[in-house]
Amino acid sequence: MRSPERDQGPWPGDSGSPGQATPEPGPSPGAPPSQPPAQPPARPQHRWGLGAYALAAAVFLSVSALLGLLVFRRGPPSVAGLAVGLAVPTVLAAATAILSTVVRGNGPRRDLGLRFSWRDVGLGLAFGFGGLVLTIPASLIYARILGPERATSAVGEVFAGLRAGAAGAAVVFVIVVLLAPLCEEIVYRGLLWGALEKHGADRWLAFALTTVLFALAHFEFTRTPLLAVIAIPIGLARVVTGRLTASIIAHQINNLLPGIALLLTLLGVSPI
């Protein structure tokens, strides 16, 4: 039972009648108006686009042509000359891509997704070894249809018949398995991918276009369909993670078996 004193009116500290919501206290006179919570600054959009990719591709093609003239001008090329011709153009193309992000963007870490994480390494290994389930049968079927000589990669063809010591063979192995995939991913699944997204492509359209252009850019037109199949698990690693580490690792795993075969060939252990 309520006491009569309580019925006579509100007690000190009460505001309003029973059952009525207590109003929020308003700002005190002279207090500045409340500000909305600060939002984190949006990441600035990079200014580079397809022109940056075109520049990187032009660097690759022009340097490749120049080195080709120098390497083949004086007769049969050496392993060292071919190694330089294989490594330098792709390294300079990747350097051009990175420079484009520094000069006209936010740097390779933010613009290209060139960031390291152990999770991405694990996913790259998964896509790399898992992709072999697709690419090895595809390679065998392609060689059966076209013949082994037409299904051989251009790198295998230029090194065919050459021999090298352990150091030279190891350098070529590192270029084919580690360096070339790193540089190609920076240019294709990094620079070209980001340029396509800048121009409105979603990640699946970027995946499809970079897969096709990656296959065409090797200028091995009898192997273009096979190269497109090989690029599928590599591109999927980029789709899933949104970064380059996984696609780099997947690409390196894909090049591992051809790299081992080339290493043994240069050492005179096993022909291609």
CA-CA distance, 113 to 34, in Å (whole number)?
Answer: 38
| Integer CA distances (angstroms), 25 to 15, 22, 173, in order | 11, 9, 73
pLDDT at 148: 73
pLDDT at 154: 80
Neighbours of 112 (CB within 10 A): 25
Model pLDDT for residues 12-33, shown as the tens digit of each residue: 444 444 444 455 555 555 555 5
Residue 41 has pLDDT above 70, yes or no: no
Backbone CA torsion sign across 175, 91, 56, 205: positive
CA-CA distance, 78 to 191, in Å (whole number)?
Answer: 33
Task: List Cβ neighbours of 159 (8 Å cut-off, separation of 6 or more).
Answer: 79, 82, 172, 262, 265, 266, 272
Backbone CA torsion sign across 134, 137, 141, 142: positive
pLDDT at 38: 55
Residue 71 has pLDDT above 90, yes or no: no
| Buried-exposed string 88-98: b where 16+ CB fall within 10 A, e elsewhere | bbbbbbbebbb
Residue 37 has pLDDT above 80, yes or no: no
Estimate to the nearest angstrom the gap between the alpha carbon of 131 and the chain centroid.
16
Q: CB–CB of 159/258 below 8 Å?
A: no
| Mean pLDDT, all residues of the chain | 86
Top pLDDT among 8 and 61 is at 61
Top pLDDT among 263 and 150 is at 263
Closest C-alpha to 51, from 198, 156, 237 = 198
Residue 44 has pLDDT above 50, yes or no: yes
The pTM for the full model equals 0.81
pLDDT at 180: 97
Q: CB–CB of 88/63 below 8 Å?
A: yes
Model pLDDT for residues 81-100, shown as the tens digit of each residue: 999 999 999 999 999 999 99
Model pLDDT for residues 193-219, shown as the tens digit of each residue: 999 999 999 999 999 999 999 999 988
Model pLDDT for residues 121-180, shown as the tens digit of each residue: 999 999 999 999 999 999 889 888 887 766 678 888 888 889 999 999 999 999 999 999
CA-CA distance, 223 to 215, in Å (whole number)?
Answer: 8
Q: What share of the chain has pLDDT > 70, as a percent?
A: 82
pLDDT band with cut points at 50, 70 and 90 for residue 72: confident
Q: Which residue has the tokens 């290994």?
A: 125
pLDDT band with cut points at 50, 70 and 90 for residue 234: very high
| Integer CA distances (angstroms), 42 to 37, 39, 98, 113, 244, in order | 15, 8, 22, 17, 22
Closest C-alpha to 159, from 80, 89, 253, 255 = 80
pLDDT at 2: 46
